[in-house]
């Protein structure tokens, strides 16, 4: 990464242990402005833990996390969000009793305290993610693919510099996946950096500028998608996975 660009996210020596298990050990990586960084690794590699550490839901045992130079360690999730980091959850969590619009409105209220302005911005984002037909539908009644879009829309409404996407494509069929990939690309093009955890290798390869691979809590590889995909340590960690040789989409 060119030296004159300050990274959006700088993670240094991140570590977290749960009882006897070292979930994350000394992980270090950077994310440049407008970059898409894929975070891959087998189950239990520490990816979601890393997300929780970065977004303030967990406190690291050691390490530093900086967003645009601001120190994130020790900050609560809502403070982290205010500083410009949005995240989605692995198991989607819409506000079930509220409409799609109202869900997104909650995100928008962060930057636009006036309800009217927030609602308008929310409306625009709902259209942007393609949920216009469900604007007033209760979130509890949406399909899985629609909920994923809602989750994205809500996080987007907070006006983030960086978006953390946790397995957004899990449970989606190929058509839905392709649509979400396009949406994520569009969001990235509008200037939002993206850090995504994903098991869908095809999608990760096609979206990411760079990839970081984790295994048992440690970083085992980092670099452009094709390079990481053929890295011996990564192949070893994923032994048996056929997707490693998937061509870029």
Query: What is the contact surface with other proteins in residues (CB under 8 A)?
Result: 55, 57, 76-79, 81-82, 86-87, 89, 93-98, 102, 105-107, 109-110, 113-115, 118, 136, 154-155, 157-158
Q: Which two tokens stand for residue 88?
A: 């989605």
Separation between Cα atoms, residue 34 and residue 2, nearest integer Å: 13
Taking the complex as a whole, how short is the minimal distance between the CB of residue 159 and other proteins, in angstroms?
A: 9
Q: Which two tokens stand for residue 73?
A: 């360690």
Taking the complex as a whole, how short is the minimal distance between the CB of residue 77 and other proteins, in angstroms?
A: 4
Taking the complex as a whole, how short is the minimal distance between the CB of residue 245 and other proteins, in angstroms?
A: 36
Q: Which is nearer to other proteins, 153 or 193 (CB)?
A: 153
Block residue for tokens 């079930």 = 96
Taking the complex as a whole, how short is the minimal distance between the CB of residue 99 and other proteins, in angstroms?
A: 9
On the 0-12 / 13-18 / 19+ scale of CB atoms within 10 A, 137 is: middle
Taking the complex as a whole, how short is the minimal distance between the CB of residue 221 and other proteins, in angstroms?
A: 29
Q: Which is nearer to other proteins, 57 or 243 (CB)?
A: 57
Q: Which is nearer to other proteins, 129 or 211 (CB)?
A: 129
Backbone angles phi, psi at 134, to 5 degrees: -110, 20
Q: Which is nearer to other proteins, 144 or 226 (CB)?
A: 144
Sheet holding 62-67, edge to edge: 21-31, 9-18, 62-67, 70-71
Taking the complex as a whole, how short is the minimal distance between the CB of residue 19 and other proteins, in angstroms?
A: 11
Q: Which is nearer to other proteins, 81 or 205 (CB)?
A: 81
CB within 8 Å of 213: residues ≥ 6 apart? 40, 41, 219, 220, 221, 222, 228, 231, 233, 234, 237
Q: Which is nearer to other proteins, 71 or 97 (CB)?
A: 97
Block residue for tokens 């898409």 = 36
CB within 8 Å of 86: residues ≥ 6 apart? 107, 155, 156, 158, 160, 162, 163, 164
Taking the complex as a whole, how short is the minimal distance between the CB of residue 13 and other proteins, in angstroms?
A: 25
Distance of CA 186 to the CA centre of its chain: 15
Q: Which is nearer to other proteins, 42 or 77 (CB)?
A: 77
Separation between Cα atoms, residue 169 and residue 176, nearest integer Å: 8
Separation between Cα atoms, residue 234 and residue 225, nearest integer Å: 11
């Amino acid at each position: 990464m060119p030296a004159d660009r300050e990274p959006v996210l700088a993670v240094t020596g991140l570590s977290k242990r749960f009882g006897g298990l070292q979930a994350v050990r000394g992980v270090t990586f950077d994310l440049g402005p407008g970059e898409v960084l894929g975070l891959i690794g087998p189950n239990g590699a520490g990816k979601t833990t890393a997300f929780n550490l970065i977004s303030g839901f967990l406190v690291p045992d050691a390490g530093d996390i900086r967003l645009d130079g601001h120190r994130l360690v020790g900050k609560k999730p809502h403070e982290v969000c205010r500083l410009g980091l949005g995240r989605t959850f692995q198991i989607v969590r819409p506000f079930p009793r509220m409409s799609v619009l109202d869900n997104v409105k909650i995100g928008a209220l962060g930057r636009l305290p006036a309800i009217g302005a927030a609602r308008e911005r929310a409306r625009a984002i709902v259209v942007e993610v393609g949920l216009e037909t469900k604007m007033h539908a209760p979130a509890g009644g949406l399909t899985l693919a629609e909920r994923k879009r809602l989750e994205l829309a809500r996080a987007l409404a907070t006006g983030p510099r960086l978006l953390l996407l946790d397995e957004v494509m899990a449970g989606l069929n190929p058509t839905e996946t392709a649509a979400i990939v396009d949406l994520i690309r569009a969001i990235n093009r509008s200037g939002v950096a993206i850090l995504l955890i994903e098991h869908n290798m095809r999608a990760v390869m096609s979206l990411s500028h760079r990839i970081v691979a984790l295994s048992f809590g440690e970083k085992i590889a980092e670099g452009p998608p094709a390079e990481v995909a053929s890295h011996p340590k990564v192949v070893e960690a994923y032994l048996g996975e056929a997707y490693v040789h998937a061509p870029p989409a």
